[in-house]
Amino acid sequence: MKFMVGYQHMADSSLIDAMLQFHEDIYEVYFSWSDIPNGRGLSIEALRLSPFEFQNRQLFELGILSKNRIRLNLLLNGNCYGAQSLSRAFFSKTGNVIEYLSERINLQSVTTTSPVIAKFIKKNFPELKVSASVNMEIGSTQGMDYVAEYFDGYYMQREFNRNLPTIRRLKQWCDANGKELYMLANSGCLNHCSVHNFHDNLVAHEDEIMAMDNAFDFRGICHDYLARKEKQISIIRDTNFVRPEDLYLYEPYFSAVKLATRSNRNPAAVLEAYVGRKYVGNVTELLEPNHAESFYPDILENSNFPPGFAEKLMSCDKDCNQCGFCEQVFEEVKINLEKIGESVCVNQ
């Protein structure tokens, strides 16, 4: 199984070094470009540079990957393009960006949320593969069939990561119709989040919003929700992340697996964990968004998850009122760092 890995500019070379080290395990590296809206904001390191400096640095690092024959994927996956969504100027700019990048790096594909962008690329750049973004929330064969003429592959709706019957059904349809099926493995988003679309729209308009005198700072509702002790079970029960150790269950069904690494604090460690199929440490550190601060001083030790955890969730009937499995797992994996510290002091 190979991985899609997200590019982010960092102060050091750790992510680029990890990509080069594990290049045989990488399906492609995905990235956003310039001021075109996409599904994530810029990293802290990127924000410290001027737009010109950041673009030059990004092109340099993508060039290193390209020279090492790593395929590159352009993200045009903003949830909203506002008044520009159908404008000639927007598509002229998009075409110019694709031409510019194709001349300089190993651009092989585009991921988008827009069927109009997908149609534009199919018509004007037929050599590029086009994937339907996970933000389109496609989780049925009908949803795939509606846009089959525009897309070569689909990211499955993340809420179905632990639903084996649905995964099998989508895979069968893709095989029968010559399409690829992909999965996002390490999302920290809550399933069926009521404000997910609102938040994605904010991110798409991030540049405009940052220029305003804003009354609120909105980071999503998940962090505050999970900080409430009575709601913390949701990190196990109401999320969809797949641990590195459980990837073997998904190999028959997905052409490649996406790793969210564009805003993770240690993306190289995420890549290493999934390539190596093992991680010792706080499982939330693998996720994007990372909810570690919501649980502190508790952590959820990944190596403490019981055998059969993933198999149980992939086949369960999701009747949470009649089952205490997730609650049991939560207590097994939770470690209080303050209590460990007290124990060490007493023993010394």
Q: pLDDT digits over 59-115, tens only?
A: 999 999 999 999 999 999 999 999 999 999 999 999 999 999 999 999 999 999 999
How high is the pLDDT of residue 43?
A: 61
Rounded to an integer, the average pLDDT of 205-230 is 92
Q: What is the pTM of this model?
A: 0.94
Are residues 296 and 290 in contact, defined by beta-carbon separation less than 8 angstroms? Answer: no
Where do the H-state alpha helices sit in 147-287?
164-177, 196-204, 206-210, 222-227, 234-237, 267-276
Instruction: Write the CATH number for 92.
Output: 3.20.20.60
Determine the structural domain holding residue 238 and report its residue range: 2-347
State how far the Cα of 297 lies from the Cα of 229, in Å rounded to an integer.
12
**What is the per-residue pLDDT across 131-176, written as a single tens digit (0 to 9) for each?**
999 999 999 999 999 999 999 999 999 999 999 999 999 999 999 9
- Of 131-135, 166-170, 187-191, 340-344, the poorest mean pLDDT is in 340-344
DSSP letter for 239, please: -
Average pLDDT, the chain: 94
How high is the pLDDT of residue 59?
A: 96
Rounded to an integer, the average pLDDT of 237-261 is 98
Number of domains in the chain: 1
State how far the Cα of 11 lies from the Cα of 46, in Å rounded to an integer.
9
Lookup: tokens for 213: 């005198």
14-21 vs 51-67: helix axis angle to the nearest 10?
A: 20
DSSP letter for 83, please: G
pLDDT at 39 > cutoff 90: no
- Using alpha carbons, list the distances in angstroms from residue 53 to 50, 58, 99, 107, 178: 5, 9, 21, 21, 41
Please, which pLDDT band fits residue 225 given cuts at 50, 70 and 90? very high
State how far the Cα of 210 lies from the Cα of 214, in Å rounded to an integer.
8
Residue at token pair 């009747």 = 319
User: Percent of the chain scored above 90 by pLDDT?
Assistant: 86
H-helix or E-strand spanning residue 158: none
State how far the Cα of 9 lies from the Cα of 50, in Å rounded to an integer.
13
Please, which pLDDT band fits residue 345 given cuts at 50, 70 and 90? very low
Rounded to an integer, the average pLDDT of 235-262 is 97
pLDDT at 206 > cutoff 90: no
